Amino acid sequence: MITDLHILKSLHNVIKKYFPDIPIIDKDLQAIKRPAFYITDLTRKDSNISSEFFESTKAFNITYFGSDKQTGNIGLVKIKEYLSNIFLKPIKINIETEKQCKKLFYVEIDSIDINVNRQENYVSCDLIIIIQQRKINVPISEEPEIIVDYENNLDSETYNKETMDKLETETKIGGNYDSNIEN
């Protein structure tokens, strides 16, 4: 079963993959060092389809905070286009449990809404994902630790947990993505 946490981790991994020099913050938004991304799990709505299946509508937000200096219209539009293109194809998620149980899922982004705020120098990307799944009765406390590998169909490189830990350790904090954008 794909949980909100699986998708949140996958979104985190895809941003790290395509924007390795821009940190993803998970802490207080008041103390962010720009440029940075912030990923939020917004809402979830579950509906019964049948006695054995349900449908989850999940909403996530990815916000790119431009540098302290004004990024400029072209830079923000490029970030908007990159985010749009990244999520056009399905996301491939490999889930491995401690017992070496492997499951492969393709998750389609059903709706993408991207807005640019030039005055506040940020790009906001809202994603809606609708998944139909079989009902299972597993309390969260009993669920084994799950490792999520993310792979986007744009290329074939897979990031496993060890690779992601290494990337997070080696990624420059406060890298300046804006300086790489051509006007």
Q: List, for residues 34-93, the tens digit of each pLDDT value.
A: 889 999 999 889 888 988 889 999 999 999 998 766 656 788 888 999 999 998 888 778
Which of residues 164 and 74 earns the better pLDDT score?
74
Report the pLDDT value the prediction gives residue 90, as an integer from 0 to 100. 82
Q: Domains, the chain, ranges and CATH?
A: 4-162 (3.30.2000.10)
Q: 113 pairs with which residues across the strands?
A: 126
**At residue 28, does pLDDT exceed 80?**
no
Do residues 37 and 61 lie in contact, with contact meaning Cβ atoms separated by under 8 Å? Answer: no
Do residues 118 and 76 lie in contact, with contact meaning Cβ atoms separated by under 8 Å? Answer: yes
pLDDT band at 158 (very low <50, low <70, confident <90, very high): very low
Report the pLDDT value the prediction gives residue 133, as an integer from 0 to 100. 87
- For 54, the 3-state DSSP assignment is strand
Rounded (5°) CA angle 100-17-143: 30
pLDDT band at 168 (very low <50, low <70, confident <90, very high): very low
Q: For 79-93, 117-131, 135-149, 160-174, which range has the lowest pLDDT when averaged over its residues?
A: 160-174
Q: Alpha-carbon distance 77 to 88, whole Å?
A: 17
Report the pLDDT value the prediction gives residue 62, as an integer from 0 to 100. 95
pLDDT band at 141 (very low <50, low <70, confident <90, very high): low
pLDDT digits (tens, 9 = 90+) for 109-134: 999 999 999 888 899 999 999 999 88
Report the pLDDT value the prediction gives residue 124, as an integer from 0 to 100. 95
CA dihedral 61, 108, 131, 124 (to 10 degrees): 10
Strands laid side by side in the 53-65 sheet: 24-25, 36-48, 53-65, 122-134, 111-117
Q: Alpha-carbon distance 181 to 141, whole Å?
A: 45
